[in-house]
Amino acid sequence: MIIGITGTLGAGKGTIVEYLKSKGFKHYSARDFITEEIVRRGLPVNRDSMVEVANDLRAKNGASYVLEELHKRALAEGGNCILESVRTVGEVEALRKKDDFYLLAVDADPKLRYDRIVTRGSSTDKVSFEDFMTNEKRECESDDPAKQNLTKCIELADFKLENSGTIEELNKQVEEVLEKIVTSN
């Protein structure tokens, strides 16, 4: 089984990944893949570089390039896997053609999500609330299938999770999704 994760900034994608890893899923990260390329290019590792490099890779190699590369790695290793994070319509469309693929989307209140990223404190998270919302707006809508369109990716998800509660509540939602997937096969 291959599960892709999409969602708004700070919504809980990483928390879902950690839960699925505890269930034996292997994790493949778009952030890590893009960060490797940012470092190779000698750019600063921040959200602007992430967007710029990801968009450049997709423009040169196709709208689904990043997730297709992660999918290849996952197939080579075998087993259940989680692809984090699906951000473009082109990626969704390409992954839909793969066997045993499901897309999960997660969202939460913007203020709660901002508080989470401040606590997380990664190199791409050191921003004001205003910058956070600007970044999200930039990543939520685009007519270009190679650019981030979180809004459309969330709409295309097989399962939508609301993460405004506890980690345990989110994990319970994920477990319910896994049960639905298993019983539908």
pLDDT at 119: 86
Following DSSP, what letter does each residue of the chain receive, concatenated? -EEEEEESTTSSHHHHHHHHHHTT-EEEEHHHHHHHHHHHHT---SHHHHHHHHHHHHHHH-TTHHHHHHHHHHHHH-S-EEEE---SHHHHHHHHTSTTEEEEEEE--HHHHHHHHHHH--TT----HHHHHHHHHHHH--SSTTS--HHHHHHH-SEEEE-SS-HHHHHHHHHHHHHHHHHH-
When pLDDT is averaged across residues 68-89 and rounded to a whole number, the result is 93
185 falls within a domain: no
pLDDT at 28: 97
CATH number of residue 46's parent domain: 3.40.50.300
CA dihedral of 16, 18, 23, 29, whole degrees rounded to 10: 90
171 falls within a domain: yes
pLDDT band at 81 (very low <50, low <70, confident <90, very high): very high
When pLDDT is averaged across residues 73-89 and rounded to a whole number, the result is 93
Whole-structure pTM over 0.75, yes or no? yes
pLDDT at 51: 86
87 falls within a domain: yes
- Asked whether the beta carbons of 144 and 64 are under 8 A apart, the reply is no
Share of the chain above pLDDT 70, in %: 98
Looking at per-residue confidence, does 21 or 100 come out higher? 21
68 falls within a domain: yes
Range of the domain at 52: 2-179
Q: How many domains does the chain have?
A: 1
pLDDT band at 62 (very low <50, low <70, confident <90, very high): very high
184 falls within a domain: no
Share of the chain above pLDDT 90, in %: 70
86 falls within a domain: yes
42 falls within a domain: yes
